[in-house]
């Protein structure tokens, strides 16, 4: 037997010896006999946050801030305070939502553009992109599958470096062609429908274009005509594929060539020369 005080602005759960519970809202002083008192934890969300509430009956609810709520073990399984997703003017989110119909559930998709603080509802989820990307700390020209993982889609012009390797000229000289590719997303719907990794598509297409260009020339001719690699006309497959999946290739910059001579007399001792 004892007295307990519930302070103003607080709430508490009182359980008796039978397991029956009741909520006390402070300020209040209560006498406990064969009872226990548990002060409830309060969760508060600011205007750019929200509360994710999992109810005991299996429901999930999102409440946008500003909001405050006590975790009641009789009704709630858990409460989480989460931050909204902040988008600037050059970013977008792909949001999916399940809608119940007579014939079954239908998944709807919509695009949310910034600037905005986006707070999803309980039945919404975000598209997670997994694209080829470069580890800038090790080698910016090596593209690793699924290295770039993100939900915020950038809609401003971007670029990446790529080295087209194992390219052979018609006189069997092996070279590596170094490029920089500038691109911009112009149609999000096309991109979502027609590709799961546009960077991989760019890489495959530009490799095919460079190989097609080099196999028609000797190494000396390649050196003389290397400036053509700065022209978009040299990359028909890249341009066609980019347009098909909703992108625009604004520029391809030829950076350099690295040579590896693999003729029959010197196959065992390849040499590498940097060309400007």
- Per-residue pLDDT tens digits for 22-69: 988 989 888 888 889 999 999 999 999 999 999 999 999 999 999 999
What's residue 182's pLDDT? Answer: 97
Whole-prediction pTM? 0.80
Q: pLDDT tens across 204-260, in order?
A: 999 999 999 999 999 999 999 999 999 999 999 999 999 999 999 999 999 998 876
What is the structure's pLDDT at 129? 96
User: Between 261 and 129, whose confidence is greater?
Assistant: 129
The Cβ of residue 53 has, within 10 Å, a number of other Cβ atoms equal to 20
What is the fold of 139-275?
Tetrahydropterin Synthase; Chain A (3.30.479)
Query: Higher-confidence residue: 260 or 77?
Result: 77
Give residue 276's pLDDT band: very low, low, confident or very high (50, 70, 90).
very low
Q: What element of type H or E holds 242?
A: helix 236-244
CA distance 244 to 173: 34
Residue 40 to residue 29: CA distance in whole angstroms: 16
CA-closest candidate to residue 219, choices 172, 156, 267, 275: 172
18 CB-near residues (< 8 Å, 6+ apart): none
**Selected residue with higher pLDDT from 86 and 138:** 86
């Amino acid at each position: 037997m004892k007295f307990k005080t519930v302070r103003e602005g607080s709430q508490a759960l009182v359980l008796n010896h039978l397991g029956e519970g009741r909520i006390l809202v402070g300020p209040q002083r209560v006498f406990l006999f064969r009872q226990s008192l548990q002060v409830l934890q309060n969760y508060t969300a600011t205007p750019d946050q929200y509360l994710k509430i999992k109810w005991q009956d299996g429901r999930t609810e999102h409440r946008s801030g500003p909001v405050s709520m006590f975790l009641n073990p009789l009704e709630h399984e858990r409460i989480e305070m989460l931050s909204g997703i902040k988008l600037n003017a050059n970013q977008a989110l792909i949001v999916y939502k399940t809608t119940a119909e007579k014939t079954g559930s239908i998944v709807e998709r919509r695009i949310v553009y910034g600037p905005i603080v986006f707070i999803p509802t309980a039945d919404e989820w975000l598209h997670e992109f997994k694209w080829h990307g470069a580890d800038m700390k090790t080698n910016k020209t090596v593209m690793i599958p699924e290295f770039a993982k993100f939900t915020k889609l950038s809609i401003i012009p971007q670029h990446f470096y790529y080295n087209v390797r194992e390219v052979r000229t018609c006189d069997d000289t092996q070279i590596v062609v170094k490029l920089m590719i500038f691109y911009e997303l112009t149609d999000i719907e096309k991109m979502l429908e027609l590709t799961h990794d546009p960077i991989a598509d760019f890489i495959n297409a530009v490799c095919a274009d460079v190989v097609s260009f080099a196999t028609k020339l000797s190494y000396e001719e390649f050196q003389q005509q290397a400036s053509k690699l700065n022209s978009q006309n040299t990359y028909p497959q890249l341009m066609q594929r980019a347009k098909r999946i909703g992108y625009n290739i604004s520029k391809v910059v030829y950076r350099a060539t690295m040579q590896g001579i693999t003729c029959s007399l010197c196959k065992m001792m390849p040499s590498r020369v940097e060309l400007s």
